Chain A
Amino acid sequence: MTKSRKVPHLAPVENIPAQGLERRPRSVPGRPPSIAELERYATVLRIDCVRMLAVAKSGHLDSSLSAADIVAALYYRVLRHDAKRPDWPRRDRFVLSKGHAAPIQYAALARHGYFPHEDLMGLRKLDAHLQGHPDMTRTPGIEVSTGSLGQGLSMSLGIALGLRLDKVHDAHVFALLSDGDCQEGQTWEAAMASAHFGVSNLTAIIDYNHLQTDGTTEEVMDLKDVRKKFDAFEWDATEIDGHDMTEIVEALEWSRTRAQPAAIVCRTKKGRGVSVMEDQTGFHGKPPSPEQAEEALSELEAKLAEQTRALGISR
């Protein structure tokens, strides 16, 4: 038996050195982060998530990890946003329809300076602004409150139409949906309406990890071919590896250029990046035990060190 030592997630949060790349929104001119840098950022966000969940002892870690690469690509490269101006009318909008993956968005927002990084440790605690699910009334950078599955795509469509009315043609709306979102009928109401209203500024990203609370989607409610479904609703739909950063970035940029609403179905693994959780049932909505958190952090920090070395960044 290994005796448990002091759990590292309680240590002060590491400041990730990134040679000034850290807080650069896309709206600021400069070199966009490379694929390798984005992959490293995804690890940074994953580490934040494990720490947050270990402290909060509540929340959905595996769902957050599943979306980490997508969220890193969005916040560090694709989205035009500025933490100093969260209400900037021409910003791109990101709507986390799978609101239970809030920790991954919180990590990205904190890393971009929407609020102090130490706030992450207040996740789900009384009087902290980081609620269990995203809350636009409390947290800077949250466009709209979510958490009840199925509503995010409709909300995103509303935002897309509002932007179109305002003739803000360069702002794009990205909605991140889960398997569960796609089981809700409302998502397909929104899919139908998005094609009907012909919005070209809307992208649905589906984090298709095939695992839900009660088991695999194949067991519980088989979504089958999600890309075909969006195709049938006359969206421009594509399917990618949701953990391949090159494919993610390319697909997100591609989706901006479509005349129709665009869907990116991402083949993902729940719990990605943490071996004990990856593609395993039974972790949905369960926080990691201190031992699991410790193991996860060791694994992720080793990965971060390797990615940092490869990038030639001195720590």
Chain B
Amino acid sequence: MSRLAERDPVPTRKAYGAALVELGETHEDVVALDADLAVSTQSIDFGKRFPERFFNVGTAEANMMSMACGLATTGKVPYASTFAIFATGRAYDQVRLGIAHNELKIRVCASHGGLSLGEDGASHQMIEDIALMRAMPKMQVVVPADYNQAYRAVIDSYEWEGPMYMRFGRPATPFVYDEVPETLGGGVDVLREGSDISIFACGHMVWRALEAAEMLARDQEVEAEVVNVAVIKPLDSEAVLGSLARTGVAVTAEEHRKVGGLADAVRGVAAEQYPVPIFAVGVGDRFGLSGTGEAVMERFGLTAEGIADTVRQALALKPVVKHAPPVLDGADE
């Protein structure tokens, strides 16, 4: 029952580039900015199609984010792209005051999130961007799982109000969705049902979570529920609690530090409303390093095997804690 479609993998950043062109065609107020990485982030196609609405600012990310702010005050809808490290690290203050504080409809579109960009190493491997953007008041955080969902997220982002951070990746990524979904919905999507454990994953870890679930079913008769959390903020807590209520134990998987990201988002909801064991797959207190994307991911345990191992650890704790199911809003009496 694998949902991994049998198609050649494609990077999520390609979806950004393609969807941005579509937005440009349908909405005259869409403008795009980039900081000398338009070929990598894929904003280049928009730039070629709409040169008058495209601003390549050179390697000046702070300037780019504040320019996006200025453009938005004139009614434009800016999509500002660069690598995740520069979008959230270098330009944090500019994103914070100019974009988030002002609640402007600006999309900070970061490619090359996480470790899987590989060879460029620690200086470029952004593993705390989700934490930074989650902590920032008013900022919405979206991490699509594959090309199709990324395409939908970019198209839908035009309709969302307020500031948004979107994270895309460098490597070709297997398809999780057979086609572009009709909607991003609440951003929490059960891809595989299971009653033994929940695996909450985002971005590049979603297809790995699906593989892990297949392995667990095959080798250990463990039925894992795989939940793709594409919208990490605002988190659809009802959907998260619903899954936790079905399984009573969970693992999170993200290409990010274990603090501040998906793990903390899920744990935050659970701790207050349905405390169950939640184990995290992610990056510990360390920086990345050079190597192929796959090799680096493997070194950090960000693999299907890594998720499956953590699932086994979590399951060992499952019987320890028992709760009445959480009361969900709108649930039948």
Interface, chain A (partner B; CB < 8 A): 135-137, 143-148, 150-152, 154-163, 165-166, 185-186, 189-190, 192-193, 196-197
Contacts and interface: CB of A to CB of B under 8 A. Distances in A.
Given A144-B73, A158-B68, A165 B98 contact: no
B102 A137 contact: yes
Interface stretch (B49-57, B191-199, B204-212, B233-241): B49-57
B313 interface: no
A156 B73 CA distance: 10
B75 interface: yes
Contacts of A163: 74
A151 B66 contact: yes
Q: Is the interface of B mostly helix, strand, loop or mixed?
A: helix
Given A157-B67, A157-B70, A144 B52 contact: no
Given A147-B97, A151-B97, A161 B73 contact: no
Given A147-B97, A192-B58, A197-B55, 17 more contacts: A145-B98, A151-B94, A151-B98, A154-B63, A154-B70, A155-B67, A157-B67, A158-B69, A160-B70, A161-B55, A163-B74, A165-B53, A186-B62, A189-B60, A189-B63, A193-B58, A193-B67
Contact of B102 (A136, A157, A160, A162): A136
B101 A137 contact: yes
| Interface size range of chain B in the complex | 20 to 34
A193 B73 contact: no
Nearest to B57: A193
Nearest to B94: A151
A156 B70 contact: yes
B122 interface: no
Contact of A158 (B60, B70, B93, B97): B70
15 contacts: A143-B73, A146-B97, A151-B66, A151-B93, A151-B98, A154-B63, A154-B67, A154-B69, A154-B94, A155-B67, A157-B70, A158-B78, A166-B74, A185-B62, A189-B57
A157 to B, nearest CB: 6
A145 B62 contact: no
A144 B55 contact: no
Nearest to B101: A145
A162 B58 contact: no
Contacts of B68: 158
5 smallest CB-CB distances across A and B, nearest first, come from: A158-B70, A162-B74, A154-B66, A189-B63, A158-B67
From A135, A143, A193, A197, residue with most partner B Cβ within 10 Å: A193
B31 interface: yes
A196 B58 CA distance: 10
Interface of B: 31, 52-53, 55, 57-58, 60, 62-76, 78, 93-94, 97-98, 101-103
Contacts of B73: 136, 143-144, 155, 158-159, 162
Contacts of B76: 162, 165
B74 A148 contact: no
A141 to B, nearest CB: 13
B81 to A, nearest CB: 15
B38 to A, nearest CB: 15
Given A143-B73, A161-B71, A189-B63, A155 B103 contact: no
Nearest to B64: A154
- The residue among B31, B53, B70 with the most chain A CB atoms within 10 A of its own CB is B70
A61 to B, nearest CB: 23
B66 A190 contact: yes
Contacts of B69: 144, 151, 154-155, 158
Contacts of A151: 62, 66, 69, 93-94, 97-98
Contacts of A155: 66-67, 69-70, 73, 98
Given A145-B98, A145-B101, A192 B60 contact: yes
A158 B66 CA distance: 7
Nearest to A150: B62
Contacts of B53: 165
A154, A156, A160, A197 — most chain B CB neighbours (10 Å): A154
A193 B62 CA distance: 12
A93 to B, nearest CB: 8
Nearest to B75: A162
A183 to B, nearest CB: 14
